[in-house]
Amino acid sequence: MRIVVLVSGSGSNLQAIIDAVTAGPLPVEIAAVGSDVPGCKGLQRAEGAGITTFAVPLQKCASPEERSEWNRQLCAAVQEHAPDLLVTSGFMRILSEEFLTSLGVPIINTHPALLPSFPGAHGVRDALRHGVKVTGCTVHQVDAGVDTGPIIAQAAVEITEDDTEDSLHERIKVQERRLLLETLERLAAGRLQLS
Ligand SMILES: Nc1nc2c(c(=O)[nH]1)N[C@@H](CN(C=O)c1ccc(C(=O)N[C@@H](CCC(=O)O)C(=O)O)cc1)CN2
Ligand SMILES: NCC(=O)N[C@@H]1O[C@H](COP(=O)([O-])[O-])[C@@H](O)[C@H]1O
């Protein structure tokens, strides 16, 4: 199964995919890694593994027209690598409906909260601030909404009294990587079908 991965930052979840592909148990080809943030660590991790990378930058204060053009350019950049699946993990931009329909292949995303709770860009912080005792992570299919796509897998993570956002996020990421690799294995083996 041929995938493209989109990241915006550190790419530690991407690294887990790279490591699993390199070690051999995961029958997946990472055709390319892309980002909206040129030079981000996730792109550096991919380059270090000899994987093709691309960047399509988006200004923070982009106008709706600039954002539409960015979606078109990003879609074209992904399609150049002819993936069977697009994976977003730590990709911090909302993809437009036009992107989804033009791309024509399924997209899965990892989110660091138990959706539908705490959607959006700051799921870990929001769970901490809300005072819940249990949060977790979700792998879901991406639709035109924000974190509203069909849920594929979830894992719970308890919040401790001395947790910081970083300490909690690192524990969540351990479960995210497990769910992400399990999902990719299921898709590659034909044991999971996406619409
Ligand atoms: N159409 C969709 N695109 C994306 C989804 C999705 O569910 N539908 N998931 C995101 C990843 N994500 C949560 O898992 C997420 C990332 C970012 C945001 C967001 O509000 N981004 C803002 C900018 C935030 C910032 O710069 O700090 C934005 O795009 O303007 C929400 C959810 C991947 N794409
Ligand atoms: N809403 C999107 C979101 O918060 N995504 C989260 O960003 C982190 C990226 O970590 P990484 O860059 O080290 O893989 C991951 O925990 C991912 O779920």
Q: Give the Cα separation of 155 and 159 in Å (integer).
A: 13
Structural domain boundaries enclosing 79: 1-105
Please work out whether the CB of residue 136 comes within 6 Å of at least one atom of ligand 2.
Answer: no
Q: Mutation test of ligand 1: which of 56, 67, 94 has the most ligand atoms closer than 8 Å to its C-beta?
A: 94
pLDDT, residue 18, reads 97
Q: What is the ipTM of this complex?
A: 0.96
* 75 and 155 housed in the same domain: no
Q: Give the Cα separation of 164 and 177 in Å (integer).
A: 20
Q: Give the Cα separation of 4 and 134 in Å (integer).
A: 32
Nearest CA to ligand 2 atom 13: 12
**Cα 89 to averaged position of ligand 2 atoms, centre (Å):** 6
For ligand 1, what atom is nearest to the CA of residue 93? Answer: 29
Q: Among 105, 132, 148, which residue terminates a domain?
A: 105
* 123 and 101 housed in the same domain: no
Structure tokens at 75: 């879609």
* 70 and 14 housed in the same domain: yes
Q: What is the pTM of this model?
A: 0.98
pLDDT, residue 25, reads 79
Which strands sit side by side in the sheet containing 2-7, from one edge to the other? Answer: 53-55, 29-35, 2-7, 85-89, 107-111, 134-141, 151-158
pLDDT, residue 117, reads 98
When pLDDT is averaged across residues 41-48 and rounded to a whole number, the result is 98
* 98 and 7 housed in the same domain: yes
Q: Give the Cα separation of 151 and 131 in Å (integer).
A: 24
The pLDDT tens digits of the residues spanning 74-101 come to 999 999 999 999 999 999 999 999 999 9
Q: Give the Cα separation of 74 and 12 in Å (integer).
A: 22
* 93 and 25 housed in the same domain: yes
CATH value at residue 150: 3.40.50.170
**Cα 169 to averaged position of ligand 2 atoms, centre (Å):** 9
* 139 and 88 housed in the same domain: no
Q: At residue 155, does pLDDT exceed 90?
A: yes
pLDDT, residue 34, reads 99
When pLDDT is averaged across residues 159-176 and rounded to a whole number, the result is 98
Q: At residue 167, does pLDDT exceed 90?
A: yes
* 80 and 127 housed in the same domain: no
Q: Among 105, 125, 143, which residue terminates a domain?
A: 105
The pLDDT tens digits of the residues spanning 117-151 come to 999 999 999 999 999 999 999 999 999 999 999 99
Does residue 78 contact residue 103 with C-beta atoms inside 8 Å? Answer: yes
Please work out whether the CB of residue 150 comes within 6 Å of at least one atom of ligand 1.
Answer: no
* 142 and 170 housed in the same domain: yes
Q: How many domains does the chain have?
A: 2
Known binding site for (6R)-10-formyltetrahydrofolate: residues?
67, 92-95, 109
Q: At residue 44, does pLDDT exceed 90?
A: yes
* 89 and 118 housed in the same domain: no
* 75 and 154 housed in the same domain: no
Q: Among 105, 123, 142, which residue terminates a domain?
A: 105
Known binding site: residues?
11-13, 67, 92-95, 109
SS3 130: helix
For ligand 2, what atom is nearest to the CA of residue 41? Answer: 12
**Cα 73 to averaged position of ligand 2 atoms, centre (Å):** 23
* 12 and 82 housed in the same domain: yes
* 40 and 127 housed in the same domain: no
Confidence of residue 152 (pLDDT cuts 50, 70, 90): very high
**Cα 143 to averaged position of ligand 2 atoms, centre (Å):** 18
Looking at every residue in the chain, the average pLDDT score rounds to 97
pLDDT, residue 195, reads 85
